[in-house]
Amino acid sequence: MFSSKVDLKNFSQEKLECFLGEMGEKKFRSVQIMSWIYQKGASSFSEMSNLSLELRQKLEALCEWTVLTERERQWGTDGTQKFLFELKDGKAIESVLMPSPDRVTICISTQAGCRMGCHFCLTAKLGLLRNLSMAEIVGQILEIQKKTLMRVTNVVMMGMGEPFDNYDAVVEAVRILRSPQAFHMSQRKITVSTVGLVPEILRFGKEMDVNLAISLNAPNDELRAKLMPITRKYTLADLLEACRKIPLKPTRKITFEYVMLSGVNDSLAHAQELVEKVRDIKCKINLIPWNEFAAAGEFKRPTSTAIEAFHQYLNDHRVLATIRYSRGRDISAACGQLIPKMINH
């Protein structure tokens, strides 16, 4: 009946129910299995003690088990931990854990590498190696919880890769994060960040209710195209029009990320242009001072004075903005600094 081994960790609950149904098992077994995988962090079927021995053996024979192997971990002085994982095919990804007193946030990758080519981002230098499966996306959380004994409360998909370039796996991963049988996380605790793929933004806005962050990074097409090649495919006008169409609940806002690059996009004239562009959108702006990496070419991080003046200008013009000082800069774990050491690229 089943030709090759399947990975249950890549199954949505409905798929798991179908799979078990085909084996002649009751539907509620799927709830038990999901709970073992996502809530109890089981590493094998043999631990699933409320399943019959016969079912466990059958599953063992039919299924494989996605594993992420921790190859390296670095600790930042601010408590950030960066994990380097090896995937089954030898490819490598990184994930970052950021504990604080009131929350534990994890930044996860959705692709090995990335093909969006943003010039200020180190991950882009890799190009796209491959998409991650749903099991590899949520597996980063499971593995880090197991290793650190911390319970992750907030998830941001802002690690390596462009989430909407791997749309289906990302949506399945969000469903698992939201599912009461799995991570059971609130929509407010999950953020997906995109470079700005317009069709996927529109689709996601209809299908999902989690936070959406969009990397704007410049207030006009000319400048944005110099930083982000995707601008040639989707103009700022298209992107902002898509944002206006997203059905948002009264209390929710879209987040715009704005990486601040000294002498490039950080003047008050840029701030003014930005205000005009986003004025009629329910949004908040996260200003991210650019994080350095070797061989970054012409880019520089702005001075605190420039960052604060930009911030002040936005707030004075009633555009809600926050400066996000990235964590983990000392271990290259900050935004745009993820590039795993070569394993098998």
Sole window of 71-79, 82-90, 191-199, 265-273 interacting with ligand SAH (rule: CB under 6 A): 191-199
- CA pair distance 168, 170, nearest whole angstrom: 5
Catalytic residue among 17, 86, 94, 162: 94
Contact status: 105 vs ligand SAH (CB under 6 A): no
Contact letters for ligand SAH, residues 246-285 (x by CB under 6 A): -----------x-x--------------------------
Whether residue 94 lies in the annotated active site: yes
- 159-184 burial, b at 16+ Cβ within 10 Å, e below that, comes to bbbbbbbbbebbbbbbbbbbeebbbe
Sole window of 1-9, 24-32, 204-212, 331-339 interacting with ligand SAH (rule: CB under 6 A): 331-339
Contact status: 11 vs ligand SAH (CB under 6 A): no
Encoded tokens for 125: 């230098």
Encoded tokens for 168: 């289906």
Are 46 and 36 a contacting pair, CB within 8 Å?
Answer: no
Contact letters for ligand SAH, residues 41-80 (x by CB under 6 A): ----------------------------------------
CB closer to ligand SAH, 195 vs 314: 195
Nearest distance, CB of residue 10 and ligand SAH, angstroms: 22
Whether residue 18 lies in the annotated active site: no
Nearest distance, CB of residue 294 and ligand SAH, angstroms: 12
Contact status: 290 vs ligand SAH (CB under 6 A): yes
- CA pair distance 305, 310, nearest whole angstrom: 9
Catalytic (active-site) positions: 94, 335
- Point out which residues bind ligand SAH (CB under 6 A): 116, 120-121, 158, 162, 193-195, 215, 217, 257, 259, 288, 290-291, 335-337
